[in-house]
């Protein structure tokens, strides 16, 4: 709980304040974090161009600072939550415990994505196709691992509920 509440608070602040603030400079164009299937070089150039100097500063100085806090909070809180749920029904030596590391890897890819976005903003308009491909790959990896985390979380909750119902009926 100690990491979950700050994680959710930062996430809500990004969703309700910083992301809309950045997107207001480029109406109708989503920021990279909201593109789980990735993006192209042309999309990145279009987005950064539409943001303009002020929008890129907003992205760099408002959204990204929060997005450098969030991955750590998400990773730790999600790891602990999943560990608690999985270990309630499994032995501590169970290999299922390794699934708890999925949100840690998601957070690592989020940091790699954020670093690439910072570099692209600082170097715009001189960004390479390779850099966008790398950033997009980090976005996709983060998205896949985050989705996997939520599937594992759902699995753990269901397993816990089914296990507790099974115990009550015996």
pLDDT in tens, 19-31: 999 999 999 999 9
pLDDT at 37 over 70: yes
Yes or no: say if 131 and 88 are a contact pair by the CB < 8 Å rule. Answer: no
- Note every long-range contact of 13-17, with CB atoms under 8 Å and residues 24 or more positions apart, other chains counting: 13/66, 14/63, 14/66, 14/67, 14/70
pLDDT at 101: 95
pLDDT at 168: 54
Instruction: Give the mean pLDDT of 106-135.
Output: 97
DSSP 40: -
pLDDT in tens, 77-103: 999 998 888 877 666 667 878 899 999
Query: Based on the number of CB atoms within 10 Å of its own CB, is 106 exposed (0-12), middle (13-18) or buried (19 or more)?
Result: buried
Tell if the pTM clears 0.85, that is, is over it: yes
Angle at 37 between CA 81 and CA 68, to 5 degrees: 50
SS3 72: helix
Q: How far is the C-alpha of 23 from the C-alpha of 75, rounded, in Å?
A: 26
**Which residue, 143, 20, 1, is CA-closest to 78?**
1
Task: Round the average pLDDT of the chain to a whole number and report it.
Answer: 91
pLDDT at 167 over 70: no
pLDDT at 165: 57
Rounded to a whole number of angstroms, the distance between the first and last alpha carbons of the chain is: 32
Q: How far is the C-alpha of 16 from the C-alpha of 63, rounded, in Å?
A: 11
């Amino acid at each position: 709980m100690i990491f979950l509440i700050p994680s959710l608070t930062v996430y809500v602040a990004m969703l309700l304040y910083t992301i809309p603030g950045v997107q207001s400079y480029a109406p109708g164009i989503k920021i990279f974090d909201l593109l789980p299937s990735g993006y192209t070089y042309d999309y990145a150039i279009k987005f950064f161009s539409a943001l303009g100097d002020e929008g890129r500063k907003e992205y760099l100085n408002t959204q990204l600072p929060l997005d450098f806090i969030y991955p750590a909070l998400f990773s730790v809180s999600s790891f602990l939550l999943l560990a608690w749920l999985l270990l309630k029904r499994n032995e501590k030596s169970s290999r299922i415990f390794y699934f708890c590391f999925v949100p840690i890897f998601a957070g690592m890819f989020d940091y790699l994505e954020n670093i690439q976005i910072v570099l692209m903003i600082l170097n715009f308009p001189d960004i390479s196709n390779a850099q966008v491909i790398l950033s997009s790959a980090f976005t996709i990896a983060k998205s896949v691992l985050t989705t996997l985390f939520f599937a594992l979380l759902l699995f753990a909750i269901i397993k816990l509920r089914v296990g507790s119902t099974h115990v009550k009926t015996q």
